[in-house]
C-alpha cells in the first residue's frame, strides 16, 4: 500500500546527551506537535534531524538509532557547521526574519550559508528518495526545506509531493529582496500541492511566482515549467480534544485552584510564546506598562505572567532579545511594584504540558500579540481549555489565527496605546459578552482541529496525481 513520508527539519523527538548516554525527549514547537498525531495514527515514516548525536560513543549511538527506527524516524544528521549555516544562518538568520517582515534582522552577508542550505536540502531529498516506494506520497514542511520538492522530483519523478509553509509567505515587494528568490520559488513549485495557512499568504506566493518566474495562474494553482502545481489554504488547528480533556482533569483543576489562591485575588493576564522576536513580547510589556500608568488603581490588582521558553539560543538576535525583555520587565516592576508584589513575572523555561494547560485555564485574559505569525497555536490552545466559556483572548491582527478567531479582541501589536486600551476593554467586559465570544471561539477551535487540517491537505494531495511531471521523461 502507498505510504506517506513526512519530511521536516525537526522530528518530534530530540536526542539529549547526558553522561555519554542518549535519551529521546519530545521536541517543542508548533510543527512537531501538529504532526505527531498523524504520525501516531498511520503508515508514516518521518524524515528529519533528531539533534546532535556527536557526544555519543558507538554503542550509545546505535541504541539511539534503534530507538529512532522503532519510532519510524529516518534521521538526517547535521554537522556542527551545517547547523550553524543551514539552520541558524540561512533558515533562521535570513528566511525567518524576512518572511515575518522584520527586515532589520535579516542577514544577507553570506553566500556560504546559502550553499549549506542547498546541500542540506539535497540530503533531505536523498533520504526521502531512498526510503520512498513507487507511488508513495511525501509531505515536506516549512521554510527550512523549500528546495526539497525540486531535488526530490529530480530523483524520484514518480512520487506525489506536497509542501506546507507554516510561516507567512510575505508580500512580493519583501520576498523579492532575497538574492535567491528564483531558486526558492522553483524549489517549491516542483510540488504537486502547496499549502498555506491563509488565502493571503497564498495570494502573495502566486504574485511572486508570476512576477519573478512568469508562472501562469490557473483556477486551482499555477503552471510553471510544464508542470501544474495546485495551491490551497489550510488553517492549521490543534489537538483540541487533548487540551480540553487535560483541562478538565482533576489534577489540572486542583492546580488551577492553587494558582488562583497564589494570586490572592489578582487578575491573571497571561502570555505564552517561544522567546522569539516575532512574538512581540517587549511591545506587549510596553502595553502593560502603559495600562498600569493610565490605571494606577489597578497596579495592585493584576499580574502579567509571561512564559517564554528559550529557543534558538545560539542565534545572536535571540540573545539580544532576551536582554531586552528582561530590561523592560525590570523597569516596569521597579516603577509599579511594591516590596511584596510585582506586576510582571517572566518565566524563561519550558513548562510541562499539564502546568501549561493549568495556566491557560487559570488566566483571565490571554495576550497573544505577535508582530507577525503564520498561524499561532497558543491562541487556539487557550480557547480549547476554557470548558466553561470564561476567559478573554486579545489577539494580534498579524497572526494567521486572526482570520479564524474573529470573536477575539483584535489589536495592532505595533500600537502600544491601542493594546493598553484592549486590556482595559477586556478587564471591563461584561461576563455575558465575554462568554458569548469564548463560546464561539471554542466551537471553532474544536471543529477545525489539527486532524481535520492534516486530512484536508492529504485528501487534496492524493487527488493530485501521481504526477506526470516533465522530468519523468528526462
Residues near ligand GDG (CB under 6 A) are 28-31, 33-34, 166-167, 236, 272, 274, 307, 309, 350-351, 353, 356, 373-378, 381
Report d(CA 466, CA 155) in Å as an integer: 15
In this structure, is the dihedral angle defined by the CA atoms of residues 289, 291, 293 and 296, taken in order, positive or negative?
Answer: negative
CB of 380 to ligand GDG, least distance (A): 8
Grid coordinates belonging to 365:
485574559
Q: Which residues have CB under 8 Å from 403's CB, separation 6+?
A: 198, 200, 235
Look up residue 413 and give its DSSP letter: T
Whole-angstrom Cα distance, residue 319 to residue 275?
9
Q: Which residue shows C-alpha cell 502593560?
A: 288
Nearer to ligand GDG by C-beta: 166 or 437?
166
Nearest to ligand GDG of 31, 434 (CB atom):
31
Nearer to ligand GDG, 144 or 467 (CB): 144
Closest contact distance (angstroms) between CB of 265 and ligand GDG is 26
- Supply the minimum distance, in Å, between the C-beta of residue 96 and ligand GDG: 9
Can you tell me the distance from the alpha carbon of 53 to that of 69, in angstroms, rounded to the nearest whole number?
A: 15
Nearest to 299, CA basis, from 266, 326, 323? 266
Of 92 and 191, nearer to ligand GDG (C-beta) is 92
Residue 57 CB, shortest distance to ligand GDG, in Å, is 31
Closest Cα partner for 10 from 58, 46, 60, 63? 46
- Cβ atoms within 10 A of the Cβ of 23, count? 14
Residue partners of 344: CB distance under 8 A and separation at least 6: 285, 288, 303, 304, 306, 329, 332, 333
| Rg over CA atoms, the chain | 23
CB 222 within 8 A of CB 259: no
Which CB, 180 or 353, lies closer to ligand GDG? 353
Q: Which is nearer to ligand GDG, 29 or 387 (CB)?
A: 29
CB nearer to ligand GDG: pick between 29 and 337 = 29
How far lies 468's CA from each of 146, 161, 220, 228, 252, in Å? Answer: 21, 12, 18, 10, 53
- Which residue bears the cell 502546568? 355
Which is nearer to ligand GDG, 166 or 386 (by Cβ)?
166
User: In the complex with ligand GDG, which residue's Cβ is closer, 88 or 381?
Assistant: 381
What distance in Å separates the CA atoms of residue 330 and residue 214, rounded to the nearest whole number? Answer: 52
Taking the complex as a whole, the smallest distance from the CB of residue 452 to ligand GDG amounts, in Å, to 14
Calpha distance 325→269 (Å, rounded): 17
Q: How far apart are CA 53 and CA 23, in angstroms?
A: 10
Tell me the closest approach of the beta carbon of residue 379 to ligand GDG, in angstroms.
Answer: 8
**408 burial level (CB within 10 Å; 0-12, 13-18, 19+):** buried
Q: 173-188 burial, b for 16+ CB within 10 Å, e for fewer?
A: ebbeebebbeebbbbb
Residue 325 Cβ, how far from ligand GDG at the closest point, in Å?
A: 14
CB of 468 to ligand GDG, least distance (A): 31
Q: In the bound complex, which residue of the shown chain has the CB atom lying closest to ligand GDG?
A: 30
Beta strands of 200-296 (E only): which ranges? 216-218, 221-224, 227-233, 267-274
Catalytic residues, by residue number, are 166, 373
- Separation of alpha carbons 90 and 99, rounded Å: 12
Q: Considering the complex, what minimum distance in angstroms separates the CB of residue 450 from ligand GDG?
A: 9
Amino acid at each position: 500500500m502507498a505510504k506517506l513520508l513526512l519530511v521536516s527539519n525537526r522530528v518530534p523527538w530530540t536526542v539529549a546527551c547526558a553522561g555519554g548516554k542518549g535519551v529521546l525527549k519530545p521536541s517543542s514547537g508548533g510543527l512537531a506537535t501538529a504532526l505527531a498525531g498523524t504520525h501516531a495514527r498511520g503508515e508514516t515514516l518521518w524524515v528529519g534531524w533528531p539533534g546532535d548525536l556527536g557526544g555519543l560513543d558507538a554503542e550509545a549511538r546505535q541504541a539511539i538509532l534503534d530507538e529512532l527506527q522503532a519510532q519510524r524516524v529516518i534521521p538526517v544528521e547535521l554537522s556542527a557547521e551545517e547547523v550553524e549555516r543551514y539552520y541558524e544562518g540561512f533558515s533562521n538568520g535570513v528566511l525567518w526574519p524576512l518572511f515575518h517582515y522584520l527586515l532589520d534582522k535579516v542577514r544577507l552577508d553570506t553566500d556560504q550559508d546559502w550553499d549549506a542550505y542547498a546541500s542540506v536540502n539535497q540530503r533531505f531529498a536523498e533520504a526521502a528518495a531512498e526510503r520512498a516506494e513507487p507511488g508513495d506520497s511525501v509531505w515536506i514542511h516549512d521554510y527550512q526545506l523549500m528546495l526539497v520538492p525540486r531535488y526530490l522530483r529530480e530523483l524520484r519523478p514518480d512520487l506525489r509531493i506536497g509542501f506546507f509553509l507554516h510561516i507567512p509567505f510575505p508580500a512580493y515587494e519583501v520576498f523579492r529582496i532575497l538574492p535567491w528568490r528564483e531558486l526558492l520559488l522553483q524549489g517549491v513549485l516542483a510540488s504537486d500541492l502547496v499549502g498555506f495557512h491563509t488565502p493571503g499568504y497564498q495570494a502573495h506566493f502566486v504574485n511572486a511566482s508570476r512576477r519573478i518566474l512568469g508562472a501562469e495562474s490557473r483556477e486551482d494553482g499555477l503552471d510553471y515549467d510544464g508542470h501544474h502545481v495546485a495551491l490551497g489554504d489550510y488553517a492549521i488547528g490543534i489537538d483540541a480534544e487533548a487540551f480540553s480533556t487535560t483541562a478538565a482533569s482533576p489534577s489540572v483543576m486542583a492546580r488551577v485552584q492553587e494558582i488562583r489562591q497564589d494570586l490572592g485575588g489578582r487578575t491573571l493576564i497571561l502570555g505564552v510564546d517561544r522567546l522569539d522576536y516575532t512574538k512581540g513580547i517587549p511591545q506587549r510589556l510596553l502595553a502593560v506598562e502603559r495600562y498600569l500608568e493610565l490605571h494606577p488603581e489597578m497596579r495592585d490588582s493584576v499580574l502579567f505572567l509571561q512564559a517564554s521558553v528559550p529557543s534558538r539560543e545560539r542565534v545572536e538576535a535571540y540573545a539580544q532579545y532576551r536582554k531586552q525583555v528582561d530590561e523592560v520587565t525590570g523597569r516596569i516592576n521597579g516603577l509599579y511594584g511594591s516590596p511584596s508584589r510585582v506586576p510582571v513575572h517572566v518565566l524563561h523555561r519550558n513548562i510541562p504540558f499539564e502546568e501549561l494547560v493549568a495556566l491557560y485555564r487559570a488566566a483571565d485574559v490571554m495576550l497573544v500579540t505577535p508582530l507577525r505569525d503564520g498561524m499561532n497555536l497558543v491562541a487556539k490552545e487557550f480557547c480549547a481549555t476554557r470548558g466553561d466559556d470564561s476567559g478573554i483572548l486579545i489577539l494580534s491582527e498579524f497572526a494567521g489565527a486572526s482570520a479564524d478567531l474573529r470573536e477575539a479582541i483584535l489589536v495592532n501589536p505595533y500600537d502600544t496605546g491601542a493594546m493598553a486600551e484592549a486590556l482595559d476593554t477586556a478587564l471591563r467586559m461584561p461576563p455575558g459578552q465575554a462568554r458569548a465570544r469564548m463560546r464561539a471561539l471554542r466551537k471553532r477551535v474544536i471543529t477545525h482541529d489539527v486532524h481535520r487540517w492534516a486530512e484536508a491537505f492529504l485528501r487534496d494531495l492524493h487527488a493530485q496525481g501521481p504526477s506526470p511531471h516533465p522530468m519523468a521523461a528526462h
